[in-house]
Amino acid sequence: MKISKRKNKFYNTERFGQPEIRVYHKKGYGKKSPRYLLKCGCCNEKLEIYYDKEGLEINGVNGSIEDWREILLPLLTN
């Protein structure tokens, strides 16, 4: 999984006309899985996504990658 680099500036409206989501990545270590931390562009609300080869945990909800794909992909293709 690879997400392009971003500026992560607070309230950055240059690209889309509304605050851009700030994206941070941490590598896994020990028993801790790698994760992406997504933060709102205009406040401190956040979403944590832990991942490995078998599945994803999004804000504490575990599921297989195929299950998440089935749920989220239709939302992103419209």
pLDDT digits (tens, 9 = 90+) for 4-44: 777 788 888 888 888 989 999 999 999 899 999 999 999 99
Please say if the pLDDT value at position 51 is more than 80: yes
pLDDT greater at residue 16 or residue 46: 46
Confidence at residue 1, expressed as pLDDT on a 0 to 100 scale: 58
Q: What pLDDT does residue 68 have?
A: 95
Residue type, 66: E
pLDDT of residue 2: 67
- The domains of the chain are located at 22-77
